[in-house]
Homo-oligomer: A and B are copies of this chain.
C-alpha cells in the first residue's frame, strides 16, 4: 500500500478506540470468553474491492491471533454474494472489531468503485482520472490508495507536496505574473508548480510568463478546453476541473486534456454493502 504500515497501525488504533469506548459491553456480557468464531466477509452488491490490508490491520490490532484468508485482492470486481475473506479467531475480538472493519472497507470500496466508473469512461483516451483534497478528513491516505485501486491517479497529498496557485492566491499576490515569479523563486526544485486559470486570457498570460508544470482549466466549456489544449501545445500538463460528471467525462477527455479531477469520487460516494456472516462457533 502507498502509506507506511506505521501510520496505518496508528490510525486504525484511533478508529477502534472511537468505536469501542469503554469496552464492548454486549459481547462481554453475553459471549463466553473462550468462544471462537468463524465467518465470511461477503460482497452484498457489485463493487470494486479496496481496503483488504486495512481490514487486516483492524482485526490484528484487536487480536493478533485472528486468521484472515483472502480469496481475492484489492481491485477485484465483485458481485453480490462473492466471498471476500474467511475469518477465524476468538469470538470476542471478531465481534468487537467488525464494525470498524466494515465501515472502512465499505467506504474505500465505494471510492474505488466510483473511480473505476470514471476511468472506464475515458479508457480509450490518454486522460487520467485524478483526485482532489476533498477527501474525508482523517482518511486521506486511505482514500488516495482507493483511488489508485480504482485505476485513478493521485493529485498532491496535502498543502506541502506541491504548489497549486488558485484565484485567491493570484488575487492576494497581485496578479498572475507576481504569483508565478514568487512560486518559481521560492518553491523547491523538487516541487511541481500548477496554476488554475478560468479563461483563455489567463492561460495566455501564464504562457507569456514562461508557463508552469501543470495548468488547471477551471470550469471551462468544452470549446474553451479544446482551444486551451491547442494553445498549450504540449508544453504543460493540462488538468480539467469542475463540472465533471460520468455523462460529461468522455467529452472532456476528447478535448485532449491530460488529467480530469473529481472531488465527488471521494466526498460524495455511497458506501458499498459488505457483510460479515458468522457460522456457528467452533
Contacts and interface: CB of A to CB of B under 8 A. Distances in A.
A77 to B, nearest CB: 20
A280 to B, nearest CB: 6
A127 to B, nearest CB: 11
Contacts of A99: 133-134, 159
Interface residues of A, number: 96
Chain A binding surface, main DSSP class? mixed
Nearest to A136: B136
Given A29-B182, A107-B136, A160 B7 contact: no
A201 interface: no
Contact of A27 (B3, B20, B62, B169): B169
A163 interface: yes
Contacts of A160: 20-25, 157, 161
A123 to B, nearest CB: 16
Interface string A85-122: 00000010001100110011011001000000000000
Interface of A: 1-7, 13-32, 35, 37, 61-62, 91, 95-96, 99-100, 103-104, 106-107, 110, 128, 130, 133-141, 153-165, 168-169, 171-173, 178-179, 182-183, 185-192, 194, 214, 237, 258-259, 264, 267-271, 278, 280-281
